[in-house]
A and B are shown apart, each in its own frame.
Chain A
Amino acid sequence: RKEVEQDPGPFNVPEGATVAFNCTYSNSASQSFFWYRQDCRKEPKLLMSVYSSGNEDGRFTAQLNRASQYISLLIRDSKLSDSATYLCVVTSEGDMRFGAGTRLTVKP
């Protein structure tokens, strides 16, 4: 079983749509959780951290359920510029583990 598993995707949505990504992790001792965004042929960039209480940053909302070992990312009012691969990242004792990523394409 992979340490971090994500929706396989790809997601193709129209502009303005709401889209949700899910992620599960296997290590119950994991300490920190993040969503990264990776554009084609570029390095990953931190999108947002994920906290147990849930957190929001503009159109992006992240949720963490430690009991179920589940993380989600919700994007509202999708923009063309949101097209990218979204990586779920889990850390344990400082080591980062990446999910395979979910590709999102937002179309006009």
Chain B
Amino acid sequence: GAVVSQHPSRVICKSGTSVKIECRSLDFQATTMFWYRQFPKQSLMLMATSNEGSKATYEQGVEKDKFLINHASLTLSTLTVTSAHPEDSSFYICSARLTLLGTQYFGPGTRLTVL
């Protein structure tokens, strides 16, 4: 099946710093990529949807200025958590989709810990 990678897999940072997470579709061109966040013992919550070359669409309650998403190419999307705080500590997972109704393929996730 299709492969989606994320980097880094784990990051620990100090409060106030910014963290960039990369999501790549390795063997297909993803027209749409999604970013999810998952807190312990909770389900995945969609943060934003990004289409290549256009601005991301953020879900209600997700601050677009805090979670910057860039989808510069059909194989790469980045999520930057700006001025991270301990409450941003979470498991961030991206997924990629080729066509509108196609299967979403998930990346392995990035565990962010903000001290």
Interface positions of A (Cβ within 8 A of B): 31-32, 41-46, 87, 91, 93-101
Which B52-97 residues sit within 8 Å CB-CB of chain A?
A: 91, 93, 95, 97
Q: Do most interface residues of chain B lie in helix, strand or loop, or is the interface mixed?
A: strand
Q: Which of the residues B49, B91, B103, B109 comes within 8 Å of A95, measured between beta carbons?
A: B49
Complex Cα distance, B109 from A95, in Å, reads 19
Indicate if the CB atoms of B43 and A87 lie closer than 8 Å: yes
**Count the A-B residue pairs with Cβ separation under 8 angstroms: how many?**
39
Chain A minimum-CB-distance residue to B59: A95
Question: How many residues does chain B have at the interface if contact means C-beta atoms less than 8 Å apart?
Answer: 21
Find the B residue at minimum CB distance from A94: B100
Contact of A41 among B34, B106, B111 (CB under 8 A): B111
Say whether B100 contacts A43, CB under 8 Å.
no
Tell whether, in the assembled complex, residue B32 and residue A94 are in contact, meaning their CB atoms are under 8 Å apart: yes
The contact of A44 among B42, B44, B45, by CB within 8 Å, is B44
With A94-B97, A94-B101 as given contacts, are A42 and B46 in contact (CB-CB < 8 Å)? no
Closest residue of A by beta carbon distance from B104? A96
